[in-house]
């Protein structure tokens, strides 16, 4: 059912750092924001143990930090409903935001649904999250000073995680289920030439070992021999000289074997997935599902102009169905957090595919809230 004719000034979808930060600013601007916090609420921080890199707290548990934000928001009268939004309609105004039981009308919306790290799906991995298993080297690398850690993955994210971890750990293993990386060449070169990093090719994690903390992993070799001599040469040339007898076992085509690797921490770096399935066909998303805000749209347009043989083409100023020239003519150019739908804004990890930090999400949420306030002043 619809809540009568009441139209909210702003509905915020998401109860993590970006959404709660936005709600505090909007509440102080007397906009009486409504937040759908989700169920469970709080985002990725609810799975984080010690947080030591959020300004103002030398050390705080992730869930505790979320509760402090929620308490702060409620102090200013923010209404938080811990339900999931199941449907939105941005095709007409006022916008419609629906849960399983209610539909709410809104003059503006902030999308702050965040993103989820992709995991291996092992019971032992789930049990030891926050106890040595992590998906963020920037967040947790500090806890592994002079220790040995493993990184799972073969893309740029895994390379970046490994290079961050070597600033703290004495040894970093990259565990990759294939015999070549998909990462960019420059990132591969940095990793393969680093003396503290060793690559374990053609191996998958069967189990994370440890009761109360990570003590190691159980690996299973995967036979993925190159099909030709040329491919074999290219592959082996990319491998660091430190890789030991494990490769010989794989290359000779012997049966897969399981063995233990002693490590103190395990970082899963197989990617993130923005929680934006709800907004498909509603706002412009990139190929990976991240919401494209106006700020990023103009960045993409500049890249197209630089790379396009016809830099003056108006096609460079189109992102999907989004015409940036018309956007600019209508005066929307200063709303950097705005999506392809005027009045719908986005902030946090569902936009940010680079940093993915609580502090950056908070900043993005504040920016979106300030822009919503301006937007409502001029669009009413």
Q: What is the pLDDT of residues 183-231, one digit of tens each?
A: 989 999 999 999 999 999 999 999 999 999 999 999 999 865 544 434 3
Please answer whether residues 324 and 333 qualify as being in contact, where contact means their C-beta atoms are separated by less than 8 angstroms. no
Say yes or no: 254 and 350 in one domain: no
**Which of these is catalytic: 123, 139, 275, 323?**
139
pLDDT at 225: 54
Say yes or no: 239 and 276 in one domain: no
- In angstroms, the CA 64 to CA 50 distance is 10
pLDDT at 232: 38
- In angstroms, the CA 146 to CA 165 distance is 10
**Residue 313 within any structural domain of the chain:** no
Say yes or no: 77 and 50 in one domain: yes
pLDDT tens-digit readout, 260-283: 999 999 999 998 899 999 999 999
Say yes or no: 62 and 187 in one domain: no
pLDDT tens-digit readout, 99-132: 999 999 999 999 999 998 899 999 999 999 989 9
**Residue 315 within any structural domain of the chain:** no
Say yes or no: 358 and 375 in one domain: yes
Say yes or no: 170 and 279 in one domain: no
**Which of these is catalytic: 123, 136, 189, 349?**
136
pLDDT at 5: 77
pLDDT tens-digit readout, 335-353: 999 999 999 999 999 999 8
Please answer whether residues 321 and 340 qualify as being in contact, where contact means their C-beta atoms are separated by less than 8 angstroms. yes
C-alpha triplet 138, 339, 276: angle, nearest 5°: 60
Domain boundary at 268, 283, 301, which? 268
Count of the separate structural domains present in the chain: 2
pLDDT band of 326, cuts 50, 70, 90? confident
Between strands 34-36 and 2-13, the pairing is parallel
Show the beta-strand stretches assigned E in 275-343.
Answer: 318-319, 322-323
pLDDT at 243: 41
Residue 237 belongs to domain with CATH number:
3.50.50.60
Q: If we measure between CA atoms, which residue out of 270, 317, 1 comes closest to residue 118?
A: 270
Say yes or no: 189 and 281 in one domain: no
Distance of CA 235 to the CA centre of its chain: 31
139 is catalytic: yes
Say yes or no: 128 and 264 in one domain: yes
**Residue 322 within any structural domain of the chain:** no
pLDDT at 236: 40
- In angstroms, the CA 285 to CA 208 distance is 35
323 is catalytic: no
- In angstroms, the CA 291 to CA 276 distance is 7
Name beta bridge partners: 51: 60
**Which of these is catalytic: 140, 264, 275, 349?**
140
**Residue 351 within any structural domain of the chain:** yes
pLDDT at 255: 57
Residue 211, C-beta contacts closer than 8 angstroms, at least 6 positions apart:
none
Rg, Å, the chain Cα set: 24
How many residues in the chain? 380
Q: Which residue do the tokens 């040894």 mark?
A: 171
User: Which is higher by pLDDT, 298 or 36?
Assistant: 36
* Helix boundaries (H) for 267-312: 294-307
Say yes or no: 283 and 347 in one domain: yes
pLDDT tens-digit readout, 284-323: 999 999 999 999 999 988 888 888 767 778 888 888 889 8
Is 338 strand, coil or helix?
strand
140 is catalytic: yes
User: Which is higher by pLDDT, 158 or 139?
Assistant: 158
Please answer whether residues 41 and 82 qualify as being in contact, where contact means their C-beta atoms are separated by less than 8 angstroms. yes
Residue 321 CB burial class (10 angstroms; 0-12, 13-18, ≥19):
exposed
Say yes or no: 285 and 219 in one domain: no
Say yes or no: 200 and 286 in one domain: no
**Residue 331 within any structural domain of the chain:** no
**Residue 20 within any structural domain of the chain:** yes
Say yes or no: 58 and 105 in one domain: yes
Domain that includes residue 194, residue range: 123-268
């Amino acid at each position: 059912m619809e809540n009568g004719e009441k139209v909210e000034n702003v509905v915020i979808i998401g109860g993590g750092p970006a959404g709660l930060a936005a709600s505090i600013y909007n509440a102080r601007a007397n906009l009486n924001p409504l937040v759908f916090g989700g169920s469970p609420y709080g985002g990725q921080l609810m799975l984080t143990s010690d947080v030591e890199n959020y300004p103002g707290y030398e050390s705080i548990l992730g869930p505790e930090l979320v509760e402090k934000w929620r308490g702060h928001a409620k102090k200013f009268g923010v209404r938080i409903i811990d339900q999931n939004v199941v449907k939105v309609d941005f095709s007409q105004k006022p916008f419609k935001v629906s849960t399983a039981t209610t539909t709410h009308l809104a003059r503006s919306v902030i999308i702050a649904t965040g993103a989820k790290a992709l995991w291996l799906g092992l019971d032992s991995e789930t049990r030891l999250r926050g106890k040595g298993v992590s998906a963020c080297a920037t967040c947790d690398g500090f806890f592994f000073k002079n220790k040995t850690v493993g990184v799972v993955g073969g893309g740029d994210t895994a390379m970046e995680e490994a290079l961050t971890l070597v600033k703290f750990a004495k040894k970093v293993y990259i565990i990759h289920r294939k015999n070549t990386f998909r990462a960019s060449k420059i990132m591969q070169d940095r990793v393969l030439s680093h003396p503290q990093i060793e690559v374990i090719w053609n191996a998958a994690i069967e189990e994370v070992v440890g009761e109360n903390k990570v003590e190691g992993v159980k690996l299973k070799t995967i036979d993925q021999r190159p099909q030709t001599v040329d491919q074999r040469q290219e592959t082996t040339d990319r491998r660091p000289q430190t890789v030991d007898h494990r490769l010989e076992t794989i290359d000779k085509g012997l049966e897969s074997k399981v063995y233990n690797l002693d490590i103190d921490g395990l970082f899963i770096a197989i990617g993130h997935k923005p929680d934006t399935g709800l907004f498909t066909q509603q706002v412009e998303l990139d190929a990976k599902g991240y919401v494209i805000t106006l700020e990023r749209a103009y960045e993409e347009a500049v890249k197209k102009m630089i790379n396009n043989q016809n830099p003056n083409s108006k096609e460079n100023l189109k992102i999907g169905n989004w015409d940036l020239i018309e956007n600019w003519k209508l005066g929307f150019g200063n709303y950097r957090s705005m999506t392809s739908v005027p009045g719908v804004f986005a902030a946090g990890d569902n936009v940010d595919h680079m940093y993915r930090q609580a502090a950056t999400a908070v900043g993005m949420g504040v920016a979106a809230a300030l822009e919503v306030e301006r937007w409502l002043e001029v669009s009413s």
